[in-house]
Structure 1
Amino acid sequence: MDTPISVHKDLTFNSSCDGLKIYYDIYEPSPLPSRPIIIQIAHGMVEHKARYEWAASNLAQKGFIVAINDHRGHGKSIDKSHPWGEMRGLGDTESQVNQDSKNHTNTDKSRAESTDGFRRAVKDMHQLTEILKSRYNDSKFVLLGHSMGSLLSRGYLKLYVSELDALILSGSPAYNPLIGVGKTLAQILKILTLESQGKNIINALSFGGFNRPFLHNVGEDNAKGGFAWLCRDKAVVEAYKADSACQFVFSLSSFIGLFAGMQWVNDTHDVQAEHLPLLVASGNRDSCGDFGIGVEKIARQYEKCGLDVELVLYEGARHEILNETNKTQVLNDMIAFINNAIESK
């Protein structure tokens, strides 16, 4: 039987990185459990926390406390210096970033202090964790990251592993060994002050091919640059296309930070998380994850690091498995994983 829930929307905290107001929601079961399990969700790129209302509500109805924030430059976590698509902040110049990098050692903790918007987003996530753990005593903590949120969660794993009781990576992007080329190109375009044209070029190179496998799917958003690759539920795709908060393009600095972040999290030699339960879940028709091939490589990476890895590839499912036609199955599998992971602690 589902538990009644209460929802607290648009709570805020000021980022310790630069003071940006970060918006977040909390979904609570009523009454609160004596030993709660917190699930913190990290959403993907060019979307926002409201798109996870179904998943968060259903998890809360099953007795979990769920929290999700809008990442910087997304949703409501914006201001004049951080419009949609700008994660670092318009006030930070490239020279500041370069100087910041010189001033730090090579430890992961110091890297996270950089002005890179990607790593600032990881720090924002951890700041929310601290708020949640202070609010809910004696709790267990699970991080669930989707797409770019899974990349941020992998960065979180490198920096804040002691916070985690379990980790779930959903719709993980496959690693492209040419990511360094993309980063260099974005840097050149920024030096040439080609922001408007440049960010569209990088966006097309990064995402333009995702819909190619679905160009012949009649009745779907099968145009080049379309969004059939998101999921099989046409209503979800149309809602995404109609949502103004999902129709922006990353700035060049945000792309540079994203590409650097992908390189950073793909280097797992320093991950120390032996026996941490990890669920890697994706659709086997997710072009972002190279149809499961790239996702399986990620799972194998973390197995070598000593994590207790469970890999699930859903037949026919595409990128957004929590919005897919089999989303109830996906959520039930995640709940089973969490319960097993916490019971084994």
Structure 2
Amino acid sequence: MDESELEYDGHGGVIRGRRWSGDAPADHVVLVVHGYGEHVGRYPHVARRLVDDGAVVYGADHVGHGRSDGERVLVTEFESVVDDVHTLEQRARDENPGLPVAVVGHSMGGLIAARYAQRYGDGLACVVLSGPVLGSWGAMEGLLAADEIPDVPIDPSTLSRDPAVGEAYVADDLVWHGPFKRPTIVAMQRLLEAITASGPVDVPMLDLHGEDDRLVPMAESRAGWAAIRGERSSERSYPGARHEIFNETNQDDVLTDVVTFIRSHLPRREAI
């Protein structure tokens, strides 16, 4: 698998990302949309699985995340982040003319991907959401109610049953290990409300969630999912799995579900 770096102008400065491709010509594009406080450099194993199934994969660090410009984890307007993802899609389409495009979003990236489906779904083959923040999020509401945001980082044990995942997360200098910032939470709440108010989308969507997700509880997320779920959407959950299902002990099964869903919504491959 070949990996190359890319950058482009986003709403808050330079956005930096990565492109993954294989030796064989790709027959579709996948955009990976990462979660809060992290970066796309944590997704090469996801990209490899997608590339092995015929994709060329693009991902970019959101404003204030990873290697992109901006104050760390400060997002004052998520609709602008959605616009940044659209710029990435346009870049991918320019480099891969005629190929269908799918989107895979995790956690906060699932929130962004859900809004992306509402705004730009007409041009997509399908969307996959992994542990998305949808509907209501009790942790966020608790932070907004506090007079001062506590300086408590995300508990790495909530990410995966594999302790090595949490250890790598803690050791990653590009991951934000500080407190949430109030403007970011307020902006996230606004986007949650906008998504719920906009209702179902027609683009095929797959919602995947760990049943032991303590960071973004499945019950809260699925309540929001019900408001946007279209007729061509489906969902699946994984017993015992925690928040980062792409990094879970059953990640092979999860990624199989992802590539199977994407493949089922692509134009049929022509026989050689």
TM-score in terms of structure 1 length: 0.71
In the alignment, the residues of structure 2 paired with residue 72 and residue 135 of structure 1 have an alpha-carbon distance, to the nearest angstrom, of 23
Among 10, 13, 17, the alignment partner of 1:24 is 17
* Cα distance, 1:172 vs structure 2: 1.5
Which residue in 1 is equivalent to 2:135? 175
Q: Does structure 2 retain, via aligned residues, the 8 Å contact 1:26–1:67?
A: yes
In the alignment, the residues of structure 1 paired with residue 211 and residue 116 of structure 2 have an alpha-carbon distance, to the nearest angstrom, of 26
Q: Which letter does structure 2 place at the counterpart of 1:56?
A: A
Q: Which letter does structure 1 place at the counterpart of 2:243?
A: H
Q: Does structure 2 retain, via aligned residues, the 8 Å contact 1:170–1:282?
A: yes
Q: Does structure 2 retain, via aligned residues, the 8 Å contact 1:145–1:152?
A: yes
Q: Does structure 2 retain, via aligned residues, the 8 Å contact 1:174–1:288?
A: no
Among 249, 252, 258, the alignment partner of 1:334 is 258
Q: Which letter does structure 1 place at the counterpart of 2:2?
A: S
Which residue in 2 is equivalent to 1:300? 226
**1:166-221, Cα deviation, whole Å (9 max, x unpaired):** 010101135327799668658xx6xxxxxxxx3x33x75xx8xxxxxxxxxxxxxx
* Cα distance, 1:159 vs structure 2: 1.5
Q: Secondary structure at the match of 2:174?
A: helix
* Cα distance, 1:251 vs structure 2: 2.6
- The reply to whether residue 288 of structure 1 matches residue 215 of structure 2 is yes
Q: Secondary structure at the match of 2:215?
A: helix
In the alignment, the residues of structure 2 paired with residue 337 and residue 324 of structure 1 have an alpha-carbon distance, to the nearest angstrom, of 19
Q: Does structure 1 retain, via aligned residues, the 8 Å contact 2:29–2:99?
A: yes
Task: Tell me the number of residue pairs that the alignment of Structure 1 and Structure 2 aligns.
Answer: 268
**1:104-124, Cα deviation, whole Å (9 max, x unpaired):** xxxxxxxxxxxx2x2211110
Q: Does structure 2 retain, via aligned residues, the 8 Å contact 1:278–1:307?
A: no
* Cα distance, 1:301 vs structure 2: 2.5
Q: Does structure 2 retain, via aligned residues, the 8 Å contact 1:183–1:256?
A: no
Among 97, 103, 116, the alignment partner of 1:143 is 103
Which residue in 1 is equivalent to 2:37? 46
Which residue in 1 is equivalent to 2:85? 125
- The reply to whether residue 314 of structure 1 matches residue 247 of structure 2 is no
Which residue in 2 is equivalent to 1:241? 170
Task: Pick the structure with greater CA Rg.
Answer: 1
In the alignment, the residues of structure 2 paired with residue 268 and residue 167 of structure 1 have an alpha-carbon distance, to the nearest angstrom, of 17
In the alignment, the residues of structure 1 paired with residue 131 and residue 140 of structure 2 have an alpha-carbon distance, to the nearest angstrom, of 22
Q: Does structure 2 retain, via aligned residues, the 8 Å contact 1:85–1:248?
A: no
Give the percent of matched residue pairs that are identical in Structure 1 and Structure 2: 26
- Give ranges in structure 1 of 5+ residues lacking alignment: 89-115, 190-197, 208-224
Q: Which letter does structure 2 place at the counterpart of 1:287?
A: R
In the alignment, the residues of structure 2 paired with residue 146 and residue 226 of structure 1 have an alpha-carbon distance, to the nearest angstrom, of 17
**1:285-322, Cα deviation, whole Å (9 max, x unpaired):** 112342x323433443233xx34112110111110000
Which residue in 2 is equivalent to 1:230? 159
Q: Which letter does structure 2 place at the counterpart of 1:166?
A: C
**1:139-171, Cα deviation, whole Å (9 max, x unpaired):** 111011000000011111222122211010101
Q: Secondary structure at the match of 1:308?
A: coil
Q: Does structure 1 retain, via aligned residues, the 8 Å contact 2:15–2:61?
A: yes
Which residue in 2 is equivalent to 1:98? none
Q: Which letter does structure 2 place at the counterpart of 1:277?
A: P
Q: Secondary structure at the match of 2:41?
A: helix
TM-score in terms of structure 2 length: 0.89
User: How large is the Cα RMSD of the aligned pairs?
Assistant: 2.4
